[in-house]
Chain A
Amino acid sequence: MSPAATTHESLLERGPVLLRDWLTGFLPEPARWVANCLLIIVAILAVFGLLFAFLTLAERKILGRIQNRPGPNRTGWFGLLQPFADGIKMLTKEDIVPRAASPVLHFLAPVVLLAASILTFAVIPYGRDLVPVELDAAVLYFFAAGAATELAVFTAGWASHNKYALLAAMRALAQLISYELPLLLSVVPVVLATGTLSTTGIVAAQSGWKWGFVPHWLVFTPWGAAAFAIFMVSALAESNRSPFDLPEAESELIAGHLTEYSGFKYALFFMAEYFAMCASSGLAVTLFLGGWHAPLPVLEFIPSYVWFAVKLLALLLGFIWIRATMPRLRIDQLMRLAWKFLVPLALVNLGTAAFWSITFQWEGPFQLVRWAVAAGLVVGPFYVLGRGLSAGLGPRTYRFA
């Protein structure tokens, strides 16, 4: 363990903490705590603000490449300055508030939405000793803060005094509440298995390797893989992104609850959407992908926050890939997917996780039995429920009239 211990204390690994101590170390104790908190807030806003900026660019480039075109490539080298050009454009645009709109609520909605999505960044462990707020009920806090975004979306729709905005807000509310359920149910098995609601505790429970190369990440268990899949689908729906971008379905609802927003308020909505996506992906990394742990012992020399960033980016690119592929669902399909498929699947998965926890001491051939039973409990319900979901909707045959 001695080489591992030294890597834990390498300068790169401890860099962020050392930098923080160097910057605020001279202050007396209470002021130092405040300064530390402010520093963390600034760091999070800077890192995720830049990530948001370049994520929009990456999204446009990748969508372009998938559609066989280059994407933005004129502003700066490879279009790298495009996000800043967009930002300037958004800032200089006229901010229109409809005469019939409620001015205070119309202004408050994007602010609350953004604030709520930033709050969720507080409990994600970005690296070894790099968690902004150490909470015992961090997972609970994450979902409580994230649920406030639903309120903001509805405020936006209601305050706009526009029928499309209101309709879209109702839809968004229905969608967000429906998908909150499978999202939470897919997290419960993790809490069950690790026995803690603290995100640092959950990451610590996933440390180490079996046989020296299989990491103890929860996604490498049958129930963990299923929970991860359910979590990602629900997170996709929670962040209002394609194929679940019903509230912004431009073919039906113009731009949904964003219809009456322009200029920088519109940009704030976008920022909140991307922040929510980043936060959900960050939580998925924390809960299922081993947090900041390296996948192999030999790769531990790379700092933990880099591993977190790599996993986070992989999930975000997955989101973009899915956006480029899937068509938008209809509202009834959306509801059916949540209530008839994801919720029962997540409930069954809870049982699978319970079985897995009970049988943790099974050894030898029983280990195989344990895997077979758990895998059956995951694949069986998926197959049965999937058949039920697509019953009567099978491959269509087209006939000439």
Chain B
Amino acid sequence: MLGTGLIQGLAVTARNFVGSFHGTKRFVTTQYPEERTKLPEAYRNFPFLVCESADDPMGTLRCVACQICEKECPPQCIYIEKSKDKKPDANGKMQIYPAVFDIDIAVCMSCQICVEVCPFDAIEMDQVFEIAATDRFTGLMMDRHALAKPNGYFHQIHPTQAEEVDSRLAAERLAAEKKAQAAAAAKAAPRPAPAPPAQSPGAPSAQAPKPAAPAA
């Protein structure tokens, strides 16, 4: 009969009206500046530089200024200048560090290629979206001080990925330590008896330092 569809429609809208006052099933609005929804872990937009400690971000940057990301970046928004001197990195090893590391956020296209090519897990994707600036030349040009964020922050925004990176780095560090120990042992072992084997350069003594050589 004519009009039944209209009444059904009115019932639907009435249900929505009443339902919007009860619970969040229908009423999903978040009052943005005051309330915030948790961003999904997979959300990413612009890169940041990972440092080990929040107290000394410039001293503990993972970045060694290898410039791979600079070369790979499709829109070429990364600019790096290598340092002339070396500084100990988080593992205490002497490394070059980036004297200048700029990312032009206005140019960045959030492709994540820099993150994928980085052999040191030094650059990761951030979740900042409130970076509007009144001046695009200075406001959107992020230098290394603005880009450096501690590893703890990385754990906050991408827990799974940070977990994976940390375990890999820990494994590498462990392997490096073992190698260093082995190298130290190898160096220490031949030293007390350098003279006797010298007369007869046998296979066992020559093989022992070999694996330690690249590590040293």
A and B associate in one complex? yes
B129 in contact (CB, < 8 A): no
CB < 8 Å neighbour of B17 from A62, A326, A389: A62
**Min distance, Cβ A338 to any Cβ of chain B, angstroms:** 15
Across chains A and B, the number of contacting residue pairs, with CB separation under 8 Å, is: 45
Task: Give A381-398 as 1s and 0s: 1 = Cβ < 8 Å from B's Cβ atoms.
Answer: 011011101100000000
Given the interface contacts A65-B20, A68-B20, A390-B2, does A325 sit within 8 Å of B28 by beta carbon? no
Task: Please indicate the chain A residues that have their CB under 8 angstroms from the CB of B90 in the complex.
Answer: none
**Min distance, Cβ B96 to any Cβ of chain A, angstroms:** 52
Task: Give A360-401 as 1s and 0s: 1 = Cβ < 8 Å from B's Cβ atoms.
Answer: 000000000000000000000011011101100000000000
Task: Please indicate the chain A residues that have their CB under 8 angstroms from the CB of B29 in the complex.
Answer: 68-70
B2 A325 Cβ-Cβ under 8 A: no
Task: Please indicate the chain B residues that have their CB under 8 angstroms from the CB of A62 in the complex.
Answer: 17
B13 in contact (CB, < 8 A): yes
Complex-state Cα separation, A325 to B7, whole angstroms: 10
Given the interface contacts A382-B2, A386-B2, does A68 sit within 8 Å of B26 by beta carbon? yes
A322 B2 Cβ-Cβ under 8 A: no
Majority secondary structure, A binding face: helix
A324 in contact (CB, < 8 A): yes
B13 A66 Cβ-Cβ under 8 A: yes
Task: Give B13-57 as 1s and 0s: 1 = Cβ < 8 Å from A's Cβ atoms.
Answer: 110110111000011110100000000000000000000000000
B198 in contact (CB, < 8 A): no
Complex-state Cα separation, A361 to B13, whole angstroms: 44
A326 B9 Cβ-Cβ under 8 A: yes
User: 8 nearest interchain CB pairs?
Assistant: A386-B2, A325-B13, A325-B9, A68-B26, A65-B20, A66-B17, A66-B13, A68-B20
Q: 21 A-B pairs, CB-CB below 8 angstroms?
A: A62-B17, A65-B20, A65-B21, A66-B13, A66-B20, A68-B19, A68-B20, A68-B26, A68-B27, A68-B29, A69-B20, A69-B27, A69-B29, A70-B27, A70-B29, A322-B10, A324-B13, A325-B6, A385-B2, A386-B1, A389-B2
Chain B contacts to A: CB under 8 angstroms: 1-3, 6, 9-10, 12-14, 16-17, 19-21, 26-29, 31
